[in-house]
Structure 1
């Protein structure tokens, strides 16, 4: 698994490289637009809960992804 941080403006450049798009809670207002942007692709989009994002808990963020796969 490879995890990379990127800005929203880089999404078009990386869209064919991703399976999961985790969005920071401060960008949750963009969720609908981001889902439309990846429509037709096999990409899961979700907002990282503030507790995980604020604590920089990479293991918990990984758990979010792993739970989506089940």
Structure 2
């Protein structure tokens, strides 16, 4: 909490609570790594395949948008 207070005093852009949450979250983010799994690889390949068929300049699809179609495959 002391570090969060010091950051708030130095930068002042956010509240002490904001800086505290950022500090607490940092250690979790550094430790949390995910391994590659077959499902995620499949999703990535399907999204890339669908997006490669789109004409240049058109908005690319996100995996979350395509999930219902991909899931049925």
| TM tier relative to shorter chain | under 0.3
Which structure is higher in helix share?
A: 2
Which structure is higher in strand share?
A: 1
Q: Which has the larger radius of gyration?
A: 2
Q: Which has the higher contact order (CA 8 A, sep 6+)?
A: 1
Name the TM-score, length of structure 2 as normaliser: 0.24
Name the TM-score, length of structure 1 as normaliser: 0.24
